[in-house]
Structure 1
Amino acid sequence: MPATPRSRKKESPTARIRIGIGGWTYEPWRGRFYPSDLTQKRELEYASRKLTSIEINGTFYGTQRATSFEKWHDETPEDFVFSLKAPRFATHRRVLAEAGDSVERFFASGLLVLKNKLGPINWQFAPTKQFDAEDFDAFLKLLPKQVDGRAIRHAVEVRHESFCHPEFISLLREHGVAVVMAGDSHYPQLADVTAPFVYARIMGTVEGEALGYSEQTLDSWAVRAKQWAAGERPDDLRCIEQVAPKPTPRDVYLYVISGYKASNPAAAIALIERIPKV
Protein backbone atom coordinates (compact mmCIF):
# COMPACT_ATOMS: atom_id res chain seq x y z
CA MET A 1 0.00 0.00 0.00
CA PRO A 2 1.64 3.29 -1.03
CA ALA A 3 2.18 6.00 1.53
CA THR A 4 -0.07 9.00 1.27
CA PRO A 5 2.08 12.14 0.84
CA ARG A 6 1.33 14.69 3.50
CA SER A 7 1.58 18.39 2.94
CA ARG A 8 4.87 19.91 4.05
CA LYS A 9 4.77 22.76 6.51
CA LYS A 10 7.26 25.60 6.15
CA GLU A 11 7.62 27.34 9.49
CA SER A 12 9.60 30.32 8.19
CA PRO A 13 12.12 31.10 5.45
CA THR A 14 14.92 31.04 8.01
CA ALA A 15 14.01 28.20 10.40
CA ARG A 16 12.49 24.74 10.08
CA ILE A 17 10.86 22.60 12.72
CA ARG A 18 11.43 18.92 12.01
CA ILE A 19 9.67 16.30 14.09
CA GLY A 20 10.10 12.56 14.05
CA ILE A 21 10.92 9.33 15.85
CA GLY A 22 13.89 7.06 16.44
CA GLY A 23 14.27 4.50 13.65
CA TRP A 24 11.45 3.08 11.57
CA THR A 25 11.61 -0.69 12.15
CA TYR A 26 9.60 -1.74 15.18
CA GLU A 27 7.16 -4.66 15.18
CA PRO A 28 4.46 -3.05 17.41
CA TRP A 29 4.13 -0.24 14.86
CA ARG A 30 2.86 -2.72 12.26
CA GLY A 31 -0.90 -2.49 12.10
CA ARG A 32 -0.79 0.50 14.48
CA PHE A 33 1.30 3.10 12.65
CA TYR A 34 1.95 1.14 9.49
CA PRO A 35 -0.99 -0.30 7.53
CA SER A 36 -1.31 -4.02 8.14
CA ASP A 37 -0.78 -4.79 4.46
CA LEU A 38 2.38 -2.67 4.10
CA THR A 39 5.50 -4.70 3.38
CA GLN A 40 8.45 -4.16 5.73
CA LYS A 41 10.72 -2.94 2.94
CA ARG A 42 8.36 0.01 2.38
CA GLU A 43 8.19 1.16 6.01
CA LEU A 44 10.77 3.94 5.60
CA GLU A 45 8.97 5.17 2.49
CA TYR A 46 5.73 5.34 4.47
CA ALA A 47 7.18 6.85 7.66
CA SER A 48 9.08 9.56 5.79
CA ARG A 49 5.84 10.82 4.31
CA LYS A 50 4.15 11.08 7.68
CA LEU A 51 7.08 12.64 9.54
CA THR A 52 9.71 15.25 8.70
CA SER A 53 12.76 13.54 10.18
CA ILE A 54 14.00 10.28 11.68
CA GLU A 55 16.92 9.70 14.04
CA ILE A 56 18.93 6.66 12.93
CA ASN A 57 20.02 4.54 15.87
CA GLY A 58 21.89 1.77 14.02
CA THR A 59 24.90 4.03 13.46
CA PHE A 60 25.43 4.04 17.23
CA TYR A 61 26.03 0.29 17.35
CA GLY A 62 28.02 -0.32 14.18
CA THR A 63 29.22 0.94 10.83
CA GLN A 64 26.55 1.22 8.14
CA ARG A 65 27.27 0.66 4.47
CA ALA A 66 27.36 3.53 2.00
CA THR A 67 24.80 1.60 -0.05
CA SER A 68 22.39 1.73 2.91
CA PHE A 69 22.72 5.50 3.21
CA GLU A 70 22.14 5.79 -0.53
CA LYS A 71 19.04 3.60 -0.32
CA TRP A 72 17.62 5.65 2.56
CA HIS A 73 18.28 8.85 0.62
CA ASP A 74 16.43 7.56 -2.44
CA GLU A 75 13.40 6.24 -0.53
CA THR A 76 12.56 9.51 1.20
CA PRO A 77 11.10 12.87 0.05
CA GLU A 78 13.42 15.63 -1.09
CA ASP A 79 13.00 17.74 2.05
CA PHE A 80 13.28 14.85 4.53
CA VAL A 81 16.21 14.83 6.97
CA PHE A 82 17.95 12.09 8.94
CA SER A 83 19.77 12.69 12.19
CA LEU A 84 22.41 10.10 13.03
CA LYS A 85 23.55 8.80 16.38
CA ALA A 86 27.34 8.76 16.33
CA PRO A 87 29.17 5.50 17.10
CA ARG A 88 29.51 4.52 20.74
CA PHE A 89 33.15 3.67 20.01
CA ALA A 90 33.78 7.44 20.01
CA THR A 91 31.75 8.41 23.07
CA HIS A 92 31.92 5.40 25.39
CA ARG A 93 35.57 5.64 26.33
CA ARG A 94 37.52 6.85 29.34
CA VAL A 95 39.60 9.44 27.46
CA LEU A 96 37.50 11.31 24.90
CA ALA A 97 40.54 13.06 23.46
CA GLU A 98 41.58 9.68 22.02
CA ALA A 99 38.42 9.32 19.90
CA GLY A 100 39.90 10.87 16.75
CA ASP A 101 40.21 7.64 14.77
CA SER A 102 36.61 6.63 15.54
CA VAL A 103 35.34 10.07 14.51
CA GLU A 104 37.25 9.90 11.22
CA ARG A 105 36.04 6.37 10.42
CA PHE A 106 32.46 7.43 11.05
CA PHE A 107 32.59 10.27 8.55
CA ALA A 108 34.41 8.07 6.03
CA SER A 109 31.72 5.37 6.23
CA GLY A 110 29.55 6.80 3.45
CA LEU A 111 27.05 8.92 5.37
CA LEU A 112 27.72 11.89 3.08
CA VAL A 113 25.76 10.17 0.32
CA LEU A 114 22.71 11.36 2.25
CA LYS A 115 23.61 14.77 0.76
CA ASN A 116 21.10 17.45 1.76
CA LYS A 117 19.21 14.87 3.85
CA LEU A 118 22.05 14.65 6.37
CA GLY A 119 20.93 16.37 9.55
CA PRO A 120 22.70 16.73 12.93
CA ILE A 121 24.93 14.11 14.49
CA ASN A 122 23.96 13.13 18.04
CA TRP A 123 26.97 12.17 20.15
CA GLN A 124 25.36 10.29 23.04
CA PHE A 125 27.35 9.61 26.21
CA ALA A 126 26.87 6.94 28.85
CA PRO A 127 24.97 7.91 32.04
CA THR A 128 28.16 7.24 34.01
CA LYS A 129 30.29 9.66 31.96
CA GLN A 130 31.15 12.71 34.06
CA PHE A 131 32.16 16.17 32.92
CA ASP A 132 35.89 16.79 32.56
CA ALA A 133 36.31 20.23 31.00
CA GLU A 134 39.75 19.67 29.50
CA ASP A 135 38.96 16.27 28.01
CA PHE A 136 35.54 17.35 26.74
CA ASP A 137 37.06 20.41 25.08
CA ALA A 138 39.58 18.13 23.36
CA PHE A 139 36.73 15.93 22.15
CA LEU A 140 34.74 18.86 20.75
CA LYS A 141 37.82 19.91 18.78
CA LEU A 142 37.72 16.51 17.03
CA LEU A 143 34.25 17.14 15.59
CA PRO A 144 34.58 18.47 12.04
CA LYS A 145 32.65 21.58 11.10
CA GLN A 146 32.81 20.52 7.45
CA VAL A 147 33.45 17.27 5.60
CA ASP A 148 34.13 17.41 1.87
CA GLY A 149 32.65 20.88 1.76
CA ARG A 150 29.42 19.94 3.53
CA ALA A 151 28.64 21.68 6.83
CA ILE A 152 28.12 19.28 9.74
CA ARG A 153 25.93 20.00 12.75
CA HIS A 154 26.78 18.35 16.06
CA ALA A 155 24.77 17.80 19.25
CA VAL A 156 25.89 16.10 22.45
CA GLU A 157 23.60 14.07 24.68
CA VAL A 158 25.00 14.00 28.20
CA ARG A 159 23.37 12.00 30.95
CA HIS A 160 25.25 12.86 34.15
CA GLU A 161 24.40 15.68 36.52
CA SER A 162 28.02 16.89 36.52
CA PHE A 163 27.39 18.43 33.08
CA CYS A 164 24.98 20.92 34.65
CA HIS A 165 27.79 23.43 34.85
CA PRO A 166 28.29 26.85 33.21
CA GLU A 167 31.70 25.80 31.87
CA PHE A 168 30.09 22.97 29.90
CA ILE A 169 27.56 25.34 28.33
CA SER A 170 30.34 27.80 27.53
CA LEU A 171 32.39 25.08 25.80
CA LEU A 172 29.45 24.04 23.65
CA ARG A 173 28.77 27.61 22.59
CA GLU A 174 32.45 28.15 21.80
CA HIS A 175 32.38 25.17 19.43
CA GLY A 176 28.87 25.79 18.06
CA VAL A 177 27.63 22.44 19.35
CA ALA A 178 24.08 21.91 20.64
CA VAL A 179 23.19 20.18 23.88
CA VAL A 180 20.43 17.60 23.47
CA MET A 181 17.37 18.62 25.48
CA ALA A 182 16.26 15.39 27.15
CA GLY A 183 12.61 16.10 27.86
CA ASP A 184 10.30 14.21 30.23
CA SER A 185 13.07 11.92 31.42
CA HIS A 186 15.19 11.27 34.50
CA TYR A 187 18.28 12.54 32.69
CA PRO A 188 19.46 16.15 33.12
CA GLN A 189 17.16 18.36 31.06
CA LEU A 190 19.35 21.16 29.74
CA ALA A 191 17.54 23.65 27.52
CA ASP A 192 20.42 26.08 27.03
CA VAL A 193 20.74 27.17 23.41
CA THR A 194 24.37 26.87 22.31
CA ALA A 195 24.21 26.37 18.53
CA PRO A 196 22.35 27.65 15.44
CA PHE A 197 19.83 24.83 15.96
CA VAL A 198 18.00 23.04 18.77
CA TYR A 199 17.95 19.27 19.24
CA ALA A 200 15.30 17.84 21.58
CA ARG A 201 14.43 14.25 22.46
CA ILE A 202 11.23 13.86 24.47
CA MET A 203 10.82 10.57 26.31
CA GLY A 204 7.59 10.66 28.25
CA THR A 205 4.95 8.89 26.18
CA VAL A 206 2.72 6.56 28.21
CA GLU A 207 0.46 3.64 27.36
CA GLY A 208 -2.65 5.24 28.80
CA GLU A 209 -2.76 8.09 26.26
CA ALA A 210 -4.01 7.44 22.73
CA LEU A 211 -1.40 9.84 21.33
CA GLY A 212 1.28 8.90 23.85
CA TYR A 213 0.95 12.30 25.53
CA SER A 214 -2.05 14.25 26.76
CA GLU A 215 -3.40 16.97 24.48
CA GLN A 216 -2.14 19.60 26.93
CA THR A 217 1.40 18.20 26.95
CA LEU A 218 1.46 17.99 23.16
CA ASP A 219 0.32 21.62 23.02
CA SER A 220 3.15 22.59 25.38
CA TRP A 221 5.84 20.88 23.29
CA ALA A 222 4.47 22.45 20.12
CA VAL A 223 4.67 25.89 21.73
CA ARG A 224 8.26 25.26 22.84
CA ALA A 225 9.27 24.12 19.36
CA LYS A 226 7.81 27.29 17.86
CA GLN A 227 9.56 29.42 20.48
CA TRP A 228 12.91 27.82 19.66
CA ALA A 229 12.35 28.33 15.94
CA ALA A 230 11.54 32.00 16.55
CA GLY A 231 14.76 32.46 18.51
CA GLU A 232 13.15 32.50 21.93
CA ARG A 233 13.96 30.31 24.92
CA PRO A 234 11.04 28.56 26.68
CA ASP A 235 10.84 29.80 30.25
CA ASP A 236 9.48 26.53 31.64
CA LEU A 237 12.55 24.39 30.89
CA ARG A 238 15.73 24.12 32.95
CA CYS A 239 18.68 26.21 31.78
CA ILE A 240 22.08 26.56 33.43
CA GLU A 241 22.64 30.08 32.17
CA GLN A 242 20.30 32.65 33.64
CA VAL A 243 20.65 35.06 30.72
CA ALA A 244 19.28 33.88 27.38
CA PRO A 245 21.43 34.33 24.26
CA LYS A 246 20.52 36.90 21.62
CA PRO A 247 17.23 35.85 19.94
CA THR A 248 18.01 34.27 16.56
CA PRO A 249 15.73 32.00 14.51
CA ARG A 250 16.93 28.42 14.78
CA ASP A 251 16.13 25.13 13.10
CA VAL A 252 14.53 22.66 15.49
CA TYR A 253 14.88 18.86 15.48
CA LEU A 254 12.46 17.19 17.89
CA TYR A 255 12.23 13.42 18.27
CA VAL A 256 9.73 11.39 20.28
CA ILE A 257 11.96 8.71 21.78
CA SER A 258 11.63 5.94 24.37
CA GLY A 259 8.68 6.10 26.76
CA TYR A 260 5.79 3.97 25.48
CA LYS A 261 7.41 3.46 22.08
CA ALA A 262 4.34 2.01 20.38
CA SER A 263 2.68 5.44 20.55
CA ASN A 264 5.67 7.54 19.51
CA PRO A 265 4.69 7.91 15.83
CA ALA A 266 1.21 9.08 16.85
CA ALA A 267 2.72 11.65 19.21
CA ALA A 268 5.10 12.91 16.53
CA ILE A 269 2.31 13.26 13.97
CA ALA A 270 0.15 15.07 16.53
CA LEU A 271 2.99 17.55 17.10
CA ILE A 272 3.45 18.10 13.37
CA GLU A 273 -0.25 18.90 13.10
CA ARG A 274 0.15 21.53 15.83
CA ILE A 275 2.80 23.45 13.91
CA PRO A 276 0.81 25.88 11.74
CA LYS A 277 1.60 26.64 8.13
CA VAL A 278 3.19 30.02 7.51
Structure 2
Amino acid sequence: MIRIGTSGWRYPEWRDDFYRGVPQRLWLSHLAQHVRTIEINSSFYHPQPASNYRKWVAETPPDFVFAVKGPKQITHVQRLRHVEDPLKTFADSLALGTKQGPILWQLPPSLRFDRATIQDFLAALPQGRHALEPRHESFRTDAYFDLLRAHNVAHVVSDAPTFPCIEAVTADFAYLRLHGHDELYISSYDDEQLDEWAGKIRGWDRDTYVYFDNTMHGAAPHNALALAQRLDTPIRSHM
Protein backbone atom coordinates (compact mmCIF):
# COMPACT_ATOMS: atom_id res chain seq x y z
CA MET A 1 0.00 0.00 0.00
CA ILE A 2 1.53 3.27 -1.14
CA ARG A 3 -0.20 6.56 -0.39
CA ILE A 4 1.09 9.74 -1.97
CA GLY A 5 -0.12 13.24 -1.18
CA THR A 6 0.85 16.71 -0.03
CA SER A 7 1.79 18.44 3.18
CA GLY A 8 -1.29 20.53 3.84
CA TRP A 9 -3.85 21.92 1.41
CA ARG A 10 -4.50 25.57 2.29
CA TYR A 11 -2.20 27.39 -0.11
CA PRO A 12 -3.29 30.62 -1.83
CA GLU A 13 -0.39 30.02 -4.26
CA TRP A 14 -2.38 27.13 -5.74
CA ARG A 15 -5.47 29.28 -6.38
CA ASP A 16 -4.73 30.06 -10.03
CA ASP A 17 -3.36 26.63 -10.88
CA PHE A 18 -4.42 23.45 -9.10
CA TYR A 19 -7.43 25.15 -7.47
CA ARG A 20 -8.41 27.20 -10.51
CA GLY A 21 -12.16 27.78 -10.36
CA VAL A 22 -12.54 25.93 -7.05
CA PRO A 23 -13.99 27.87 -4.07
CA GLN A 24 -11.69 27.87 -1.05
CA ARG A 25 -14.22 25.96 1.05
CA LEU A 26 -13.87 23.06 -1.40
CA TRP A 27 -10.07 22.97 -1.61
CA LEU A 28 -9.70 19.95 0.68
CA SER A 29 -12.35 17.89 -1.07
CA HIS A 30 -10.91 18.85 -4.46
CA LEU A 31 -7.37 17.79 -3.54
CA ALA A 32 -8.69 14.61 -1.89
CA GLN A 33 -10.23 13.59 -5.21
CA HIS A 34 -6.71 13.43 -6.67
CA VAL A 35 -4.48 12.12 -3.87
CA ARG A 36 -4.93 9.37 -1.29
CA THR A 37 -3.53 11.15 1.76
CA ILE A 38 -2.69 14.61 3.15
CA GLU A 39 -0.66 15.78 6.14
CA ILE A 40 -2.57 17.96 8.58
CA ASN A 41 -0.14 20.77 9.43
CA SER A 42 -2.33 23.07 11.53
CA SER A 43 -2.12 20.64 14.46
CA PHE A 44 1.57 21.52 14.75
CA TYR A 45 0.91 25.22 15.35
CA HIS A 46 -2.30 25.20 17.41
CA PRO A 47 -4.47 22.60 19.12
CA GLN A 48 -7.31 21.60 16.83
CA PRO A 49 -10.76 20.86 18.28
CA ALA A 50 -12.30 17.48 17.57
CA SER A 51 -14.92 19.26 15.45
CA ASN A 52 -12.23 20.26 12.91
CA TYR A 53 -11.07 16.69 12.53
CA ARG A 54 -14.66 15.48 12.06
CA LYS A 55 -15.23 18.19 9.43
CA TRP A 56 -12.14 17.09 7.47
CA VAL A 57 -13.27 13.46 7.67
CA ALA A 58 -16.64 14.44 6.17
CA GLU A 59 -14.98 16.29 3.27
CA THR A 60 -12.82 13.37 2.07
CA PRO A 61 -13.49 10.00 0.38
CA PRO A 62 -14.11 6.85 2.45
CA ASP A 63 -10.69 5.35 1.73
CA PHE A 64 -8.77 8.56 2.49
CA VAL A 65 -6.11 8.80 5.20
CA PHE A 66 -4.66 11.78 7.07
CA ALA A 67 -1.24 11.99 8.65
CA VAL A 68 -1.24 14.38 11.60
CA LYS A 69 1.66 16.57 12.61
CA GLY A 70 2.33 16.48 16.35
CA PRO A 71 2.26 19.77 18.29
CA LYS A 72 5.36 21.95 18.39
CA GLN A 73 4.69 22.35 22.13
CA ILE A 74 5.95 18.78 22.44
CA THR A 75 8.74 18.81 19.86
CA HIS A 76 10.07 22.38 19.90
CA VAL A 77 9.08 23.90 23.24
CA GLN A 78 9.46 20.93 25.58
CA ARG A 79 11.89 19.21 23.21
CA LEU A 80 10.40 15.75 23.88
CA ARG A 81 10.91 15.96 27.66
CA HIS A 82 8.16 15.50 30.28
CA VAL A 83 5.46 15.28 27.62
CA GLU A 84 3.05 12.68 29.00
CA ASP A 85 0.26 15.19 29.67
CA PRO A 86 0.43 17.10 26.35
CA LEU A 87 0.69 13.78 24.52
CA LYS A 88 -2.54 12.61 26.11
CA THR A 89 -4.30 15.91 25.41
CA PHE A 90 -3.26 15.76 21.76
CA ALA A 91 -4.24 12.09 21.32
CA ASP A 92 -7.64 12.69 22.95
CA SER A 93 -8.41 15.52 20.50
CA LEU A 94 -8.00 13.39 17.39
CA ALA A 95 -11.34 12.47 15.86
CA LEU A 96 -10.33 10.96 12.53
CA GLY A 97 -11.54 7.43 13.14
CA THR A 98 -10.56 5.05 10.35
CA LYS A 99 -9.01 7.94 8.41
CA GLN A 100 -6.21 8.44 10.91
CA GLY A 101 -2.80 7.51 9.55
CA PRO A 102 0.62 8.06 11.12
CA ILE A 103 1.41 10.87 13.53
CA LEU A 104 4.43 12.87 12.38
CA TRP A 105 6.87 14.27 14.93
CA GLN A 106 9.08 16.90 13.29
CA LEU A 107 12.07 17.79 15.44
CA PRO A 108 13.82 21.18 15.49
CA PRO A 109 17.17 21.38 13.67
CA SER A 110 18.92 22.25 16.92
CA LEU A 111 17.81 19.06 18.68
CA ARG A 112 20.70 16.60 18.84
CA PHE A 113 20.31 12.87 19.35
CA ASP A 114 20.15 11.91 23.01
CA ARG A 115 19.45 8.26 23.60
CA ALA A 116 17.64 8.62 26.93
CA THR A 117 15.38 11.43 25.68
CA ILE A 118 14.38 9.54 22.53
CA GLN A 119 13.87 6.30 24.45
CA ASP A 120 11.57 7.97 26.99
CA PHE A 121 9.63 9.77 24.26
CA LEU A 122 9.06 6.63 22.21
CA ALA A 123 7.92 4.75 25.29
CA ALA A 124 5.33 7.48 26.05
CA LEU A 125 3.73 7.53 22.59
CA PRO A 126 0.08 6.46 22.38
CA GLN A 127 -0.99 3.49 20.30
CA GLY A 128 -0.86 3.84 16.53
CA ARG A 129 1.67 4.53 13.83
CA HIS A 130 4.28 7.20 14.55
CA ALA A 131 7.05 8.72 12.41
CA LEU A 132 10.00 10.79 13.66
CA GLU A 133 11.68 13.44 11.49
CA PRO A 134 15.03 14.55 12.97
CA ARG A 135 16.86 17.43 11.35
CA HIS A 136 20.30 17.07 12.91
CA GLU A 137 23.18 14.97 11.60
CA SER A 138 23.72 13.39 15.04
CA PHE A 139 20.70 11.14 14.40
CA ARG A 140 22.65 9.25 11.74
CA THR A 141 23.56 6.51 14.20
CA ASP A 142 22.63 2.88 14.82
CA ALA A 143 21.64 3.74 18.38
CA TYR A 144 18.80 5.89 17.02
CA PHE A 145 17.73 3.37 14.39
CA ASP A 146 17.71 0.55 16.94
CA LEU A 147 15.41 2.52 19.25
CA LEU A 148 12.95 3.17 16.43
CA ARG A 149 12.95 -0.48 15.41
CA ALA A 150 12.30 -1.58 18.97
CA HIS A 151 9.16 0.60 19.06
CA ASN A 152 8.13 0.11 15.40
CA VAL A 153 8.41 3.86 14.78
CA ALA A 154 9.31 5.03 11.27
CA HIS A 155 12.28 7.27 10.65
CA VAL A 156 11.16 9.98 8.23
CA VAL A 157 13.33 10.10 5.14
CA SER A 158 13.48 13.81 4.29
CA ASP A 159 14.79 15.35 1.11
CA ALA A 160 15.77 19.00 1.54
CA PRO A 161 18.77 21.27 0.92
CA THR A 162 19.01 22.56 4.50
CA PHE A 163 19.08 19.45 6.68
CA PRO A 164 20.48 15.93 6.25
CA CYS A 165 18.73 13.26 4.21
CA ILE A 166 19.16 10.15 6.33
CA GLU A 167 17.82 7.16 4.42
CA ALA A 168 16.73 4.43 6.82
CA VAL A 169 13.61 2.28 7.12
CA THR A 170 12.94 1.32 10.72
CA ALA A 171 9.32 0.14 10.95
CA ASP A 172 6.75 -2.00 9.17
CA PHE A 173 5.90 1.12 7.17
CA ALA A 174 7.97 3.89 5.58
CA TYR A 175 7.47 7.66 5.64
CA LEU A 176 8.96 10.06 3.08
CA ARG A 177 8.78 13.86 2.98
CA LEU A 178 9.97 15.68 -0.15
CA HIS A 179 10.54 19.31 0.80
CA GLY A 180 12.16 20.44 -2.47
CA HIS A 181 15.61 19.17 -3.39
CA ASP A 182 17.22 22.46 -4.44
CA GLU A 183 15.07 25.18 -2.83
CA LEU A 184 13.32 24.39 0.44
CA TYR A 185 9.51 24.29 0.04
CA ILE A 186 9.81 25.57 -3.53
CA SER A 187 11.65 23.55 -6.17
CA SER A 188 9.78 21.01 -8.26
CA TYR A 189 11.07 17.47 -8.72
CA ASP A 190 12.07 16.66 -12.30
CA ASP A 191 11.50 13.36 -14.09
CA GLU A 192 14.89 11.94 -13.12
CA GLN A 193 14.39 12.76 -9.44
CA LEU A 194 10.90 11.28 -9.41
CA ASP A 195 12.17 8.13 -11.11
CA GLU A 196 14.88 7.80 -8.45
CA TRP A 197 12.43 8.15 -5.57
CA ALA A 198 10.01 5.72 -7.20
CA GLY A 199 12.79 3.14 -7.36
CA LYS A 200 13.65 3.64 -3.68
CA ILE A 201 10.01 3.30 -2.64
CA ARG A 202 9.68 0.04 -4.57
CA GLY A 203 12.81 -1.22 -2.85
CA TRP A 204 11.39 -0.54 0.61
CA ASP A 205 8.61 -3.05 -0.17
CA ARG A 206 6.21 -2.04 2.59
CA ASP A 207 3.35 0.34 3.32
CA THR A 208 4.65 3.79 2.44
CA TYR A 209 3.38 7.32 3.02
CA VAL A 210 4.83 10.05 0.79
CA TYR A 211 4.20 13.78 1.21
CA PHE A 212 5.35 16.57 -1.07
CA ASP A 213 6.12 19.69 0.97
CA ASN A 214 7.35 21.81 -1.96
CA THR A 215 4.17 23.82 -1.68
CA MET A 216 5.10 27.48 -2.01
CA HIS A 217 5.05 27.70 -5.82
CA GLY A 218 2.44 24.99 -6.28
CA ALA A 219 4.62 22.06 -7.36
CA ALA A 220 3.43 19.65 -4.65
CA PRO A 221 0.14 18.33 -6.10
CA HIS A 222 1.60 17.95 -9.59
CA ASN A 223 4.65 16.10 -8.27
CA ALA A 224 2.37 13.85 -6.19
CA LEU A 225 0.35 12.86 -9.25
CA ALA A 226 3.49 12.27 -11.31
CA LEU A 227 5.02 10.01 -8.65
CA ALA A 228 1.78 8.09 -8.22
CA GLN A 229 1.72 7.36 -11.94
CA ARG A 230 5.26 5.99 -11.78
CA LEU A 231 4.30 3.65 -8.96
CA ASP A 232 0.98 2.57 -10.51
CA THR A 233 -0.92 3.64 -7.43
CA PRO A 234 -4.46 5.02 -7.62
CA ILE A 235 -4.30 8.78 -8.09
CA ARG A 236 -7.99 9.41 -7.64
CA SER A 237 -10.30 8.32 -4.86
CA HIS A 238 -14.07 8.29 -5.22
CA MET A 239 -16.65 9.88 -2.92
Q: Same fold (TM over 0.5)?
A: yes
Alignment partners' CA distance in 2, 1:195 and 1:54: 20
Match of 2:114 among 124, 132, 138: 132
* Alpha-carbon distance, 1:51 to partner: 0.8
* Alpha-carbon distance, 1:260 to partner: 5.1
Alignment partners' CA distance in 2, 1:259 and 1:77: 23
1:212 alignment counterpart: 188
* Alpha-carbon distance, 1:62 to partner: 0.9
1:47 aligns with 2:31: yes
1:82 alignment counterpart: 66
Which runs of structure 2 are paired with 1:143-158 in the superposition (5 Å)?
A: 143-145=125-127, 152-158=128-134
Which runs of structure 2 are paired with 1:27-66 in the superposition (5 Å)?
A: 27-35=12-20, 37-66=21-50
* Alpha-carbon distance, 1:94 to partner: 5.3
**What SS class does the counterpart of residue 55 from structure 1 fall into?**
strand
Q: What one-letter code is carried by the residue in structure 1 that aligns with 2:134? A: V
Residues 82-106 of structure 1 deviation map (CA, whole Å, 9 limit, x = unaligned): 1010001111145633011111110
Residues 173-212 of structure 1 deviation map (CA, whole Å, 9 limit, x = unaligned): 11111111012433222221111100000122669xxx92
Q: 1:173 to 1:70 in 2, by over 3 A?
A: same
1:186 alignment counterpart: 162
Q: 1:267 to 1:95 in 2, by over 3 A?
A: closer
Match of 1:177 among 145, 150, 153: 153
TM-score when scaled to structure 2?
A: 0.91
* Alpha-carbon distance, 1:161 to partner: 1.0
**What SS class does the counterpart of residue 220 from structure 2 fall into?**
helix
TM-score when scaled to structure 1?
A: 0.79
1:270 aligns with 2:226: yes
Q: 1:95 to 1:262 in 2, by over 3 A?
A: closer
Alignment partners' CA distance in 2, 1:277 and 1:96: 35
Aligned residues: CA RMSD: 1.9
Alignment partners' CA distance in 1, 2:146 and 2:217: 34
* Alpha-carbon distance, 1:27 to partner: 0.6
Alignment partners' CA distance in 1, 2:49 and 2:196: 39
In structure 2, stretches of 5+ residues that fail to align are 235-239
1:101 aligns with 2:57: no
Task: Report if the CA contact (8 A) 1:206-1:213 is conserved.
Answer: no
Q: What one-letter code is carried by the residue in structure 2 that aligns with 1:140? A: L
Match of 1:196 among 172, 177, 181: 172
Q: What one-letter code is carried by the residue in structure 1 that aligns with 2:218? A: A
Task: Report if the CA contact (8 A) 1:22-1:256 is conserved.
Answer: yes
1:116 alignment counterpart: 98
In structure 1, stretches of 5+ residues that fail to align are 1-15, 146-151, 231-249
Q: What one-letter code is carried by the residue in structure 2 that aligns with 1:52? A: R
Q: What one-letter code is carried by the residue in structure 2 that aligns with 1:266? A: H
**Percent of pairs with identical residues:** 40
* Alpha-carbon distance, 1:264 to partner: 1.1
Q: 1:114 to 1:277 in 2, by over 3 A?
A: closer
1:6 alignment counterpart: none
Alignment partners' CA distance in 2, 1:73 and 1:95: 30
* Alpha-carbon distance, 1:252 to partner: 0.3
Bigger-Rg structure (1/2): 1
Match of 2:209 among 225, 241, 253: 253
How many pairs were matched up?
231
Q: What one-letter code is carried by the residue in structure 2 that aligns with 1:163? A: F
